[in-house]
Amino acid sequence: MARRSWQALPLVGLLAAGVLYPRLLPGDYFLHLGIVVSLYIILTSSLNLIMGITGQFAIAHAAFYGVGAYGSILLVTRLGVPYWWAWAAGILLAGIAALIIGASTLHLKGAYLAICTFAFSELFRLLLDNWISLTNGANGIIIRFVPPPIGIPGLFRFDLGSRRSYYYLMFTFALVTVWFVRRLARSDLGRVLGAIRQDETLALTAGFDTRRYKLLAFTVGSMYAGLAGATYAPYLSYIAPDLFDVNETIYIMMIMMIGGIRSIWGPVWGSILLVSLPQALDITPLLRMIAYGLVLILVMIRMPDGLAGFLDRLVSRLRPGGTWFGEKA
């Protein structure tokens, strides 16, 4: 019993940090940073489920993020669907797209899977760019509505007119995503996914229909990306095809790697570092990008397990066997 309550501690810590953050660092600018960090926590944690835990090298995550964003926004602006219904539909659409793409690509391995999903992702961008009557092409869509408030009466309420509410909403979803991925990784299902990563043939021989498990992880992970898109788009108030192209997937992947792949908390560390680092390096943009590149290379060479793995190694020197920062799944 005591063990169980200890296990919730990191999540409580994240919750406390998220609630205290706007009090410690007030102002719209820091709220904006908090929203972007939360966005990337959702995107990287869900990619971690697909790529880190299940080991499927699929690079189309930003496309599902885009399906969620475009799907929900188009339903609102073209068909007049109420936002929160459109929001749910956007997530569902991302799931359906993932089912179709996953079913036709997940039999591929390694670089084959990577490049084939990349091809799908680029086709999606080309579709957004060229189906001008629906998507307004490369010019994108300006979003003029504010999502109606949502909440449980008497308990809590997100009034999305203010940036502060938006921050709490995004942060709540980030917390839910981390909780979900952590819960899943520790479940029996998570163990099967880990087995598929380590030796798919063995998992198959043990009687698991690996194809269905891979498809499940891919679809669920992609639906979280859809959620990120559907929730973030009205805040951004503008969406365009190149926000969801393969470069965005690569950026998400990069955050996951710098934070620490396969670690539950890696995505959190990575998102905090990579969103705030460019802001913190107060130099000309050119030098900043060069420094950024150097940091990427150095981290990947000196800390191959990312920040989470590095912090864990520091801790385990003090207290052998402890994984305080990483929690390898």
**Using CB under 8 A as the criterion, which residues of the chain lie in contact with other proteins when the complex forms?**
51, 57, 104-105, 107-112, 114-116, 118-120, 122-123, 126, 129-130, 200-201, 204, 210-211, 246, 250, 253-254, 257-258, 261, 286-287, 289-290, 292-297, 300-301, 304
The nearer residue to other proteins, 183 or 212, going by C-beta atoms, is: 212
The nearer residue to other proteins, 34 or 241, going by C-beta atoms, is: 241
The nearer residue to other proteins, 121 or 177, going by C-beta atoms, is: 121
User: Token pair of 211, please?
Assistant: 């194809």
User: Token pair of 162, please?
Assistant: 């203010």
Cα separation values, 51 from 46, 222, 233, 261, 268, Å? 9, 11, 25, 8, 16
The nearer residue to other proteins, 119 or 216, going by C-beta atoms, is: 119
Distance, in Å, from the CA atom of 106 to the CA atom of 328, rounded to the nearest integer, reads 24
The nearer residue to other proteins, 72 or 219, going by C-beta atoms, is: 219
Of 319, 173, 176, 323, nearest to 262 by C-alpha is 323
Alpha helices in the chain (DSSP H): 2-7, 9-24, 28-47, 61-79, 83-105, 110-130, 132-135, 163-186, 188-198, 200-205, 210-236, 246-259, 266-280, 285-302, 306-318
Q: Is the dihedral of CA 41, 34, 85, 11 positive or negative?
A: positive
Cα separation values, 17 from 39, 128, 157, 172, Å? 16, 38, 20, 12
For residue 191, the minimal CB distance to other proteins (Å) is 19
Check if the beta carbon of residue 241 is closer than 8 Å to that of residue 124. no
For residue 329, the minimal CB distance to other proteins (Å) is 15
For residue 209, the minimal CB distance to other proteins (Å) is 9
The nearer residue to other proteins, 74 or 246, going by C-beta atoms, is: 246
For residue 301, the minimal CB distance to other proteins (Å) is 4
Concatenated DSSP letters of 187-205: SHHHHHHHHHHH-HHHHHH
For residue 110, the minimal CB distance to other proteins (Å) is 8
Distance, in Å, from the CA atom of 166 to the CA atom of 171, rounded to the nearest integer, reads 8
For residue 222, the minimal CB distance to other proteins (Å) is 17
The nearer residue to other proteins, 17 or 294, going by C-beta atoms, is: 294
For residue 214, the minimal CB distance to other proteins (Å) is 9
